[in-house]
Amino acid sequence: MGINEQKPGLQQAAQSTVADLADVVAGLRLSREVTHKIRHRGQIRELPSRAALEKIRDGLFAALFPSHYGCPDLTDETIDYFVGHTLSQSLTALNEQVRRDLLFLPPGHTDTPAEEQATAIVRDFAAQLPCLRGMLAEDLMAAYQGDPAASSMAEVLLAYPGMRAIIHHRLANVLHKLGAPLVARLLAGISQAETGIDIHPQAQIGQRFFIDHGTGVVIGQTAIIGENVRLYQHVTLGAKRFTEDENGMLVKGEPRHPIIEDNVVIYAGATVLGRITVGRGSTIGGNVWLTQSVPPGSIITQAQSRLSNEA
C-alpha cells in the first residue's frame, strides 16, 4: 500500500484523537473548576514557583560561598562584583516569589499591599545574610572536626548532603520567621528531594549542627535543637501523637516534637518521639525508640530503651 493510500486513515485517526483530547480537557476543567476545586480561596492562581526558587537558591548559595557554589575562578578583585551581581538578581527574583506567598495569608491580616510587604521581607532577609553565613561557618567547622573522613572544609561544602541540608534550612528558617512560610516550605522540599534529609523550616536549630551521612533524617516542625548537636542517618525527631479538635481536625502548630539540648549525639536509626527532652551531653544509641525524657549525661542503648519501656 502506498503512502497516499495511508493518508485518509491517518487523518481519520488524528481527528479522532483530537476529539478525544477535547473531551479530556473538558473533563479536567470540570474537575478543576467545579467538582474538585482546590484553588486557595477559590481564586488564587499565582503560586510560588519551585523552578524559580531552585534558581534563587543557587544564587543565594553562590553569594554565601562564591568560590564553592558560584565561580571557582574568582579573584580578590572580582569576587565582590560577582557576589553583588548574583545577590541582586537572586533577591529581585525572591521578591516576586515572596509576593506570591503573601497572597496565601488570611484576608485582612494587614493593610499593606503584598508588593510592599514582600520588599520589606526580602530587605530584612538580605540584611541577615552575613550573620547567617557566620552560623553556617560554625556548622561547617563542626562537620569538618566531627568527621575523621573529611579531608577539607571544601569537601564538606561540596560533597556532604548534611551540609547542603543545613544551608537550605537556615535560609528557609529566616524566611519563615520573616513571614514567607510557603516559600520557606518549598525550599525545604527542594532540599529534601536533593539530600534525602527532611527538615521543617520552622524547626529551631542551634549553632555547630552536624548531620553525618544524612539520608533519611527527619526533623519535625516544632523540634528544638541546641548547640553542638550531631545526628546520623535515619534519625527521626518526630511526633508521638496528634491532637484533634472538637471537629476531629488536627490541631496545627502544637508543640509535639523533641527538645534536644546542647552537646547531644544521636546515632543511626534512632527514633525520638513526642515533646520530650534529651538532656545536655546525652548519647542516644543506634535504633533506639525513645518516647520519654532523659536527664543530662544519659547514655541510652537499645537494651536500656526496651527495659525502660517494659517497666
Q: Say what the pLDDT of residue 10 is.
A: 67
Q: Say what the pLDDT of residue 311 is.
A: 43
Residue 49: which of 202, 182, 180, 188 has the closest Cα? 182
DSSP 176-238: HHHT-HHHHHHHHHHHHHHHS-EE-TT-EE-SS-EESS-TT-EE-TT-EE-SS-EE-TT-EEE
Q: Do 276 and 292 form a contact (C-beta atoms < 8 A)? A: yes
> 181-195 and 161-178 helices cross at what angle (nearest 10)?
170
Task: Write out pLDDT tens, residues 269-298.
Answer: 999 999 999 999 999 999 999 999 999 999
Q: Say what the pLDDT of residue 275 is.
A: 97
Q: What is the mean pLDDT of residues 61-77?
A: 95
Q: Say what the pLDDT of residue 269 is.
A: 97
- Rounded CA Rg of the chain: 25
Quote the Cα angle for 43-47-48, to 5°.
160
Q: Is the pLDDT of residue 43 over 60?
A: yes
Q: Is the pLDDT of residue 182 over 50?
A: yes
Task: Write out pLDDT tens, residues 199-245.
Answer: 999 999 999 999 999 999 999 999 999 999 999 999 999 999 777 77
Reduced to 3 states (helix: H, G, I; strand: E, B; else coil), residue 266 is: strand
**Confidence class of residue 305 from pLDDT cuts 50, 70 and 90?**
low
DSSP 54-105: HHHHHHHHHHHSIIIII-TT--TTTHHHHHHHHHHHHHHHHHHHHHHHHTTS
Q: Say what the pLDDT of residue 32 is.
A: 83
Q: Say what the pLDDT of residue 180 is.
A: 97
**Confidence class of residue 40 from pLDDT cuts 50, 70 and 90?**
low
Q: What is the mean pLDDT of the chain?
A: 90
DSSP secondary structure code for residue 289 in this structure? E
Q: Is the pLDDT of residue 310 over 60?
A: no
Residue 286: which of 272, 297, 307, 275 has the closest Cα? 272
Task: Write out pLDDT tens, residues 9-31.
Answer: 666 666 667 668 888 888 888 88
Is the pLDDT higher at 106 or at 55?
Answer: 55
Q: Say what the pLDDT of residue 253 is.
A: 76
Q: Say what the pLDDT of residue 36 is.
A: 80
Q: Say what the pLDDT of residue 41 is.
A: 62
Q: What is the mean pLDDT of residues 185-191?
A: 98
Could you give all domains of the chain from N- to C-terminal order, each with its CATH number? 47-197 (1.10.3130.10), 216-311 (2.160.10.10)
Is the pLDDT higher at 18 or at 75?
Answer: 75
Q: What is the mean pLDDT of residues 158-187?
A: 97
**Confidence class of residue 8 from pLDDT cuts 50, 70 and 90?**
low
Q: Do 278 and 230 form a contact (C-beta atoms < 8 A)? A: no
Q: Do 104 and 44 form a contact (C-beta atoms < 8 A)? A: yes
Percentage of the chain beyond pLDDT 90 is: 73
